[in-house]
């Protein structure tokens, strides 16, 4: 790799251990993937925040980094944590809370704004064509495909290294030639709701592995495309898709999706379609402002049933902006949780055995990560199940 | 015996000699290795129950969560890390882990040539793995 003089100096340790380690990570990864240089990034998004998914191992590393004065060079956001500061913090054991706080403290010392969301793109407009280093696969696919900002799928540690240096190795999807679609997906059925977009993603992720598809038959509905992004990244290595028109010329590889493919995928994700859910969960990925409003509309004048919990998860920024919707949801007995979601929290410790959700990603992970059965259905149906009156 | 030299690529510089622990299966450090004692705990793994501490750990490549990189760091802090890592094809999780844990690492080595119990010298400045002595059978 061709490094600038300043980059060489950082690599030799002139700016201390933390910067040297981060530079080593970027250079070695760059070499591994055939990058010729490092390029500046406009933002970083770091995953691996929840104590549930991290465990104790990373705390020492993060602390050592912060002790060695590591500091972010670009705007850096964080993925959700394992609890929210209002509701779950009171329901979960104090030692878990303390461990989580210890992790957050290290990120805070390094200058990372405590955004704690999987949808950092709602925090500010991204510039089309700008380079970023984001972890959190659902946000990576959404940024590349819907917002036109460019990022590889980083892991937690490499996104952190990019944040500290302010650069990322120039390989993969940072290069225009690697952003060209190389297969055509023809959806031959109407996609009726966000759940079917999610099911399409789960199915395509498995089929396409790391290919970049042009997908015909998608609506221009960003909240639905968000479900597709999250799901396609759950089962595959695809980092972007392109919404295409029906006039698209044929690619060498064409995949046809029939209504049966979606039906089968939804059936497979539904591990408990006849059970009563303990938890109805909206907000994977975190709710947009529009989804908060829609949820509030649907719960208006109704009450959450006894024995069921309703969680609506979003970032603290969207929660603050959507005050009326939050009030409405809470009035109905639902909980608006900021900075957390079921996948990275301890629902199993709260006695939750069945989760109903409109998110295919959550349904996919529920049996393994949450030790729960899943019921997958559109938002309207989820809320109908949760509410009476 | 005459040492057998296997050529590879430098990932993390360093130099050491130790007993080899060889697996033909990928290793996930998160969930696959116990951070408390350095033992492989992934069920059905061919090294399940073996301790990676102070070994020349040879395996094809890593897999699983990127949190695995931090696990390697944590093992090193407790003195439970391998002396060196020899991979067939390096992957980002293990590369980042070896860098932050400062464990010498090379890849592009034909690990099938090395057997568990062999005495191996790793020159991770030149990217070489030398089999000095075969395991006594």
What would the pLDDT profile of A256-299 be if each residue is shown by its tens digit? 999 999 999 999 999 997 789 999 999 999 999 999 999 999 99
The reported pLDDT for the residue numbered A275 is 83
Q: What is the pLDDT of residues A113-124, one digit of tens each?
A: 779 999 999 999
Same domain, A39 and A170: yes
Same domain, A118 and A9: yes
Average pLDDT estimate for A111-138: 94
Q: Does B28 touch chain A (CB under 8 A)?
A: no
> Could you give the CA distance from residue A214 to residue A181 in angstroms, rounded to a whole number?
6
Does the CA dihedral A255-A261-A266-A271 come out positive or negative? negative
Average pLDDT estimate for A172-194: 95
The reported pLDDT for the residue numbered A348 is 94
Same domain, A296 and A241: no
Same domain, A218 and A117: no
Residue A247 has pLDDT above 70, yes or no: no
Same domain, A44 and A61: yes
The structural domains of chain B, ordered by start, are 4-133 (3.50.30.10)
Q: Which of A93-102, A179-188, A250-259, B88-97 bottoms out in mean pLDDT, i.e. has the lowest? A: A250-259
The reported pLDDT for the residue numbered B66 is 84
The reported pLDDT for the residue numbered A246 is 63
H or E stretch covering A371: none
Residues of chain A with C-beta less than 8 angstroms from the C-beta of B77: 60
Same domain, A121 and A137: yes
Model ipTM value? 0.81
Residue B137 CB-density burial (10 A; 0-12 exposed, 13-18 middle, 19+ buried): exposed
- Among residues A147, A177, A207, which one ends one of the domains? A177
Q: What is the pLDDT of residues A10-19, one digit of tens each?
A: 999 999 999 9
Low-confidence ranges of chain B (pLDDT < 70): none
Same domain, A214 and A143: no
How close A360 gets to chain B, by Cα (Å)?
20
- At B14, give phi and psi (nearest 5°): 160, 175
List all residues 6 or more positions away from A263 whose beta carbon is below 8 Å from its beta carbon: none
The reported pLDDT for the residue numbered A100 is 96
Instruction: Indicate if B65 belongs to the active site.
Output: yes
- Among residues A252, A268, A284, which one ends one of the domains? A268
Same domain, A140 and A12: yes
Closest residue in B to A52 (Cα) is B67
Q: What is the CATH number of the domain that holds A51?
A: 3.30.499.10
Residue A249 binned pLDDT confidence (cut-offs 50, 70, 90) = low
Residue A251 has pLDDT above 70, yes or no: no
- At A8, give phi and psi (nearest 5°): -60, -45
B96 with A48: Cβ contact below 8 A: no
Closest residue in B to A158 (Cα) is B96
Q: Which of A178-182, A249-253, A343-347 bottoms out in mean pLDDT, i.e. has the lowest? A: A249-253
Average pLDDT estimate for A24-47: 95
Q: Does B76 touch chain A (CB under 8 A)?
A: no
In 3D space, the residue among A201, A271, A197 whose CA is nearest the CA of residue A234 turns out to be A201
Same domain, A314 and A262: no
**Structure tokens of A246?**
């029906």
Same domain, A137 and A125: yes
- At A46, give phi and psi (nearest 5°): -105, 130
Structural domain count, chain A? 3
Residues of chain B with C-beta less than 8 angstroms from the C-beta of A61: 70, 73-74, 100
Mean pLDDT score of chain A, rounded to an integer?
95
A48 with B35: Cβ contact below 8 A: no
B10 strand-pairing partners = B106
Residue A248 has pLDDT above 70, yes or no: no
Q: What is the pLDDT of residues A310-351, one digit of tens each?
A: 999 999 999 999 999 999 999 999 999 999 999 899 999 999
A133 strand-pairing partners = A44, A152
Residue A22 has pLDDT above 90, yes or no: yes
Host domain of residue A204:
180-268
Q: Which of B12, B90, B93 lies at the smallest CB-CB distance from A155? A: B93
Residue A250 binned pLDDT confidence (cut-offs 50, 70, 90) = low
The reported pLDDT for the residue numbered A113 is 78
Same domain, A89 and A238: no
Q: Does B80 touch chain A (CB under 8 A)?
A: no
Which letter does DSSP use for residue B44 in this model?
T
Same domain, A194 and A219: yes
H or E stretch covering A271: none
Average pLDDT estimate for A185-199: 96
> Could you give the CA distance from residue A132 to residue A42 in angstroms, rounded to a whole number?
6
Catalytic residue from among B23, B65, B69, B74: B65
Contact A247, A217 (CB under 8 A): no
Best-predicted range by mean pLDDT among A53-62, A201-210, B101-110? Answer: B101-110
- Among residues A131, A155, A177, which one ends one of the domains? A177
Query: Which letter, b or e, does each residue of A220-235 get, where b requires 16 or more Cβ atoms within 10 Å of its Cβ?
Result: eeeebbbbbbbbbbbb
Residues of chain A with C-beta less than 8 angstroms from the C-beta of B96: 25, 28-29, 155, 157-158, 161
SS3 assignment, position A169 = strand
**Structure tokens of A125?**
């407009």
Half-sphere exposure of A58 (CA within 13 A, CB side): 30
SS3 assignment, position A297 = helix
């Amino acid at each position: 790799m061709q490094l600038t003089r300043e980059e060489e100096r950082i690599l030799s340790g002139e700016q201390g251990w933390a910067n040297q380690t981060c530079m080593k990570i970027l250079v070695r990864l760059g070499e591994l993937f055939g990058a010729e240089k490092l390029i500046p990034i406009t933002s970083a998004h770091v995953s691996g925040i929840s104590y549930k998914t991290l465990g104790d191992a990373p705390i020492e590393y993060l602390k050592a980094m912060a002790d060695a004065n590591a500091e972010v060079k670009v705007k850096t956001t964080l993925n959700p944590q394992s609890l929210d500061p209002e509701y779950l913090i009171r329901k979960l054991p104090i030692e878990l809370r303390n461990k989580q706080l210890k992790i957050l403290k290290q990120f805070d010392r390094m200058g990372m704004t405590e955004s704690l969301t999987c949808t950092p793109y709602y925090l500010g407009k991204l510039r089309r064509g700008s380079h970023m280093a984001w972890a959190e696969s659902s946000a990576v696919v959404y940024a590349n495909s819907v917002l036109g900002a460019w990022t590889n799928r980083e892991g937690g540690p490499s996104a952190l290294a990019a944040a500290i240096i302010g650069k990322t190795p120039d390989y993969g999807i940072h290069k225009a030639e690697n952003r060209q679609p190389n297969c055509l997906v023809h959806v031959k059925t109407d996609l009726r709701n966000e759940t079917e977009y999610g099911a399409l993603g789960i199915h395509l992720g498995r089929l396409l592995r790391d290919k970049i598809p042009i997908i015909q038959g998608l609506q221009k509905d960003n909240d639905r495309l968000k479900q597709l992004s999250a799901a396609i990244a759950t089962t595959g290595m695809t980092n972007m898709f392109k919404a295409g028109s029906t006039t698209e010329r044929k690619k060498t590889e064409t995949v046809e999706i029939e209504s049966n493919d979606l039906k089968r995928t939804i059936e497979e994700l539904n591990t408990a379609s006849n059970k009563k859910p303990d938890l109805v969960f909206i907000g994977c990925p975190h709710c947009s402002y529009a989804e908060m409003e829609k949820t509030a509309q649907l719960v208006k004048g109704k009450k959450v049933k006894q024995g069921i919990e309703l969680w609506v998860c979003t970032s603290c920024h969207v929660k603050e902006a959507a005050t009326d919707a939050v009030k409405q949801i809470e009035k109905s007995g639902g909980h608006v949780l900021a900075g957390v979601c079921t996948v990275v929290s301890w629902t199993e410790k709260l006695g939750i055995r069945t989760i109903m959700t409109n998110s295919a990603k959550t349904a996919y992970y529920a049996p393994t990560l949450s030790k729960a059965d899943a019921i997958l259905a559109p938002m309207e149906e989820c809320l109908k199940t949760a509410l009476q009156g | 015996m005459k040492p057998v030299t296997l050529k590879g690529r430098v990932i993390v510089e360093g130099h050491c000699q130790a007993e080899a622990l060889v697996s033909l299966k990928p290793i996930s450090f998160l969930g696959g290795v116990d951070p408390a004692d350095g033992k492989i705990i992934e069920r059905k793994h061919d090294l399940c129950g073996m301790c990676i501490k102070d070994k020349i750990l040879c395996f094809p490549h890593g897999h699983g969560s990127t949190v695995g990189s931090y696990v390697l760091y944590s093992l090193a802090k407790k003195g439970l890390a391998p002396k060196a890592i020899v991979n067939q094809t390096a992957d980002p999780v293990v590369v980042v882990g070896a860098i932050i844990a400062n464990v010498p690492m090379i890849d592009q080595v034909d690990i099938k040539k090395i057997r568990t119990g062999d005495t191996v010298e790793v020159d991770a400045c030149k990217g070489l793995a030398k089999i000095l002595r075969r395991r006594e059978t």
